[in-house]
Amino acid sequence: MSEFKGKLIVFSAPSGSGKTTIVRHLLKQAPFNLAFSVSATSRDPRGFEKDGEDYYFISLREFKDNIKADAFLEWEEVYRDNFYGTLKSEIERIWKLKKHVIFDIDVVGGLRIKNKYPKETLAVFVKPPSVDELKIRLKKRSTESEDKINMRIAKASVELATAPQFDKIIKNYELETALKEADHLVRNFLELK
């Protein structure tokens, strides 16, 4: 275990809510001293995604072997045979760098981290303007089939119902406002002036 035990900052939301944009923005803020927790997944890479940068792309069998070995801080079968999870070794890697961990993670995983580390975690839910707007954003990405988009939209309604379980909710109706709010929340949580 690393001597440095940093804070954990979780951003969760339905796909297309803007959490990745917010997390990328926060990672650029030097005073926050953040490092991105790269999740593991059993799904194939999309578009320009890079192994070890966007995700650790591992086989379904390897993912299940890691579950049996208790190698995950949290994991979830998000869609059939599509697993996502946070390897415990990833948190250790970041804490060895003496940095705080920031997550871009599904709502179930985000709440699991919050439950395991309640005092060290800030859990933020990013709320989209509407489910219709989510669908528009997902279509603009042009990375998934209509069926996959419809699956994500159906899941979004369930995810939106979990928002009150998070420490804070950012309404991402206008990006600049959402980014300022995220900056403020993280600055206060890390107790920076």
Q: Which domains are present in the chain? A: 8-189 (3.40.50.300)
Residue, of 164 and 79, whose pLDDT is higher: 164
Beta bridge partners of 124: 11, 168
**32: DSSP letter:** G
pLDDT at 43: 94
Cβ contacts of 11 within 8 Å, gap of 6 or more: 19, 22, 23, 102, 103, 104, 105, 110, 124, 126, 182
In this structure, are residues 100 and 34 in contact, taking their beta carbons and an 8 Å threshold? Answer: yes
The first and second tokens of residue 193, run together, are: 């002036």
For residue 1, pLDDT beyond 70 = no
Phi, psi of 55 (to 5 degrees): -150, 165
Residue, of 138 and 173, whose pLDDT is higher: 173
pLDDT per residue as tens digits for the range 19-72: 999 999 999 999 999 999 999 999 999 888 999 999 999 999 999 999 999 999
For residue 2, pLDDT beyond 60 = no
In this structure, are residues 143 and 46 in contact, taking their beta carbons and an 8 Å threshold? Answer: yes
Residue, of 33 and 145, whose pLDDT is higher: 33
Residue, of 15 and 124, whose pLDDT is higher: 124
Residue type, 86: T
